[in-house]
Amino acid sequence: MTHLHTQLDAQGRLRHFLTIEGLSRKLLIELLDQAEGFLGVAQQAVKKVPLCRGKVVANLFFETSTRTRTTFELAAKRLSADVLNLNISTSATAKGESLLDTLRNLEAMHVDMFVVRHAESGTAHFMAAHAAPHVSIINAGDGRHAHPTQALLDMFTIRRHKGGFDHLRVAIVGDILHSRVARSQMLALKTLRVPDIRVIAPRTLLPAKVEEAFGVSAYYDLAEGIRDVDVIIMLRLQRERMSSALLPSEHEYFQLFGLTEERMKAAKPDAIVMHPGPINRGVEMDSAVADGRRSVILEQVTNGIAVRMAVMAMCLGSQGSK
């Protein structure tokens, strides 16, 4: 299913940012280039640009995530937008308000953009389908489906370190099956023409037919999978998976799939290590790797603000061109 019709306006500009699927390589590169320009804003004495002055952005987080919400809030404020943070889990849903009621009430307050995070897959698409013509929706993570801004900030971080994409070997390690981040990353890497995309996990944590569906290579052995790669993306292991039959213990997972300095030797000497956070230290990787010279994890957080500024600026900019 393609969501092209709901994401772009009549001029082919980004109106909503719901998924990487269906977006062109040209558009992704344009967003990365725009984010590059925003990176310097944090170094200015006044950390603001007036691009979205007068616009109102509402953060609708039905699922908690301090870092994602905070970086979206900072991004909007750096664009000079006004920001509403709504703790929906304790307000609207507690009163039995439906998603559409929440949307309509906030539209009546002249909100221009909603940043939506929800445990149900498809929520952001549903809201985009019902939003008023002047309103933009950004998906900040929906169920197991997509987390497009995380994938884009990861691509931005990779490009800053590796220059381009067409010569890279990239490995994604961990719970591929349940990860919306992994889905978005695989789509982005494919769109940006990365020739060698690898997914590494226990068989129980890989989707069926993942190789055919996403054009990736599957590996069940960490050492083999990360051999000679340029980029290693470690995924957060959901602790609730441990209590199911999908995984043995955290200790055993670390023995087989945890990233250590020793195991890093299989990758290229200048390979970088990434993680969407928060890290379970001693489960996905040890602290020596997380805090080591090849880790770019904190850079990802910094880059996330610039990338989210680029996405918001493009969506809010398309509103003005109607």
pLDDT, position 64: 78
Q: What is the four-CA torsion angle of 111, 21, 27, 186, rounded to 10 degrees? A: 120
| E strands in 143-264 | 169-173, 196-200, 217-219, 231-234
Long-range contacts of 243-246 (CB under 8 A, 24+ apart): 245/204, 246/177, 246/202, 246/204, 246/205
pLDDT of residue 55: 96
Catalytically active residues are: 67-68, 95, 117, 147
pLDDT at 320: 53
pLDDT at site 98: 82
pLDDT at 144: 86
Alpha-carbon Rg for the chain, nearest whole angstrom, is: 19
Chain segment 56-82, per-residue pLDDT in tens: 999 999 887 888 999 999 999 999 999
Distance CA 315, CA 322 (A): 12
Cis peptide before 207 (omega within 30 of 0): no
In this structure, the number of other CB atoms found within 10 A of the CB of residue 175 comes to: 23
3-state percent helix, strand, coil for the chain, nearest multiple of 5: 45, 15, 40
Report the pLDDT value the prediction gives residue 11, as an integer from 0 to 100. 82
Domains of the chain by range and CATH? 4-146+302-320 (3.40.50.1370), 148-296 (3.40.50.1370)
- The pLDDT score that the predictor gives to residue 242 is 55
Binding positions for L-aspartate are 95, 180, 236
Q: What pLDDT is stored for residue 132 in this prediction?
A: 93
For residue 245, the model assigns a pLDDT of 62
pTM: 0.93
Binding residues for carbamoyl phosphate: 67-68, 117, 147, 150, 277-278
Write out residues in the chain with pLDDT < 50, as ranges.
1-4, 321-322
Which residues make beta-bridge pairs with 314?
none
pLDDT at 250: 80
pLDDT attached to residue 321: 44
